[in-house]
Chains A and B, each alone.
Chain A
Amino acid sequence: MSEYIIQTQGLTKQYGARKAVNQVTLNIRRGDIYGFLGPNGAGKTTTIRMLLGLIRPSQGRIHIFGKDLHKHRMSILKKVGSLVEYPSYYGHLTGYENLEAIRRILDVPKSRIDEVLSIVRLTQDAKRPVKGYSLGMKQRLGIACALLGQPELLILDEPTNGLDPSGILEIRELIKSMPQQHGITVLVSSHLLSEVEQMANRVGIIQHGEMVFQDTIDSLHNRAQHRIQIAVSNPEQAFRTLASSGCSAEFNEESLVLDYMPDNKVAAIVELLVRNNHSVYRVEEKRQSLEEMFLALTREGSRQ
Chain B
Amino acid sequence: MIGKVLSSDIIKIRRTWIWLLIFLGPFGVVSLQAINFSLRYDYLTKLYADDLWGGLLNNVQYLAAPALLFGITLIASMIAGLEHRLKSWKQLLALPVSRFHVFTAKFALNLILLLSACVLLAAGSILLGAGLGFGWDIPWQRLFIISFYPFFAAMPVLALQLWLSIVMRNQAIPLTCGIMGTILSLYSIKMPDWMPLKWPHLVNAADVPEYSVLAGLAAGAVIYTASLVHFARRDVN
- A residues sitting closer than 8 Å to B (CB atoms) are 49, 52-56, 74-75, 77-78, 80, 82, 84-93, 97, 100-102, 104-107, 145, 149
Residue ID in chain B nearest A88 by CB atoms: B88
Q: Is B11 an interface residue (CB 8 A)?
A: yes
What is the minimal beta-carbon distance from B97 to any residue of chain A, in angstroms?
5
What is the minimal beta-carbon distance from A96 to any residue of chain B, in angstroms?
10
Given A82-B91, A91-B86, residue A106 in contact with residue B11 (CB < 8 A): no
Question: Size class of B's contact patch?
Answer: 20 to 34
Question: Do B16 and A105 touch (CB < 8 A)?
Answer: no
**Which residues of chain A have C-beta atoms less than 8 A from B7's C-beta?**
104
Question: Do A105 and B5 touch (CB < 8 A)?
Answer: yes
Residue ID in chain A nearest B87 by CB atoms: A88
Q: Is B176 an interface residue (CB 8 A)?
A: no
Residue ID in chain A nearest B17 by CB atoms: A92
CA distance in complex: A49, B93 (Å): 10
CA distance in complex: A106, B98 (Å): 12
Given A90-B82, A92-B15, residue A105 in contact with residue B97 (CB < 8 A): yes
Question: Do A86 and B87 touch (CB < 8 A)?
Answer: yes
What is the minimal beta-carbon distance from B11 to any residue of chain A, in angstroms?
4
Q: Is B90 an interface residue (CB 8 A)?
A: yes
Question: Do B14 and A77 touch (CB < 8 A)?
Answer: no
Could you give 23 example pairs across A and B, Cβ below 8 Å?
A54-B93, A54-B94, A54-B235, A54-B237, A55-B236, A55-B237, A56-B235, A77-B95, A77-B96, A88-B87, A91-B86, A92-B15, A93-B12, A93-B14, A93-B15, A97-B11, A100-B11, A101-B9, A101-B12, A102-B8, A102-B91, A104-B8, A149-B96
CA distance in complex: A183, B87 (Å): 29
Q: Is B230 an interface residue (CB 8 A)?
A: no
**Which residues of chain B have C-beta atoms less than 8 A from A54's C-beta?**
90, 93-94, 235-237
CA distance in complex: A87, B92 (Å): 11
CA distance in complex: A53, B8 (Å): 21
What is the minimal beta-carbon distance from B3 to any residue of chain A, in angstroms?
9
**Which residues of chain A have C-beta atoms less than 8 A from B88's C-beta?**
88-90
Residue ID in chain B nearest A103 by CB atoms: B8
Q: Is B4 an interface residue (CB 8 A)?
A: yes
Question: Do B86 and A88 touch (CB < 8 A)?
Answer: yes
**Which residues of chain A have C-beta atoms less than 8 A from B93's C-beta?**
53-54
**Which residues of chain A have C-beta atoms less than 8 A from B233's C-beta?**
56
B62-83 near A? 1/0 per residue, CB < 8 Å: 0000000000000000000010
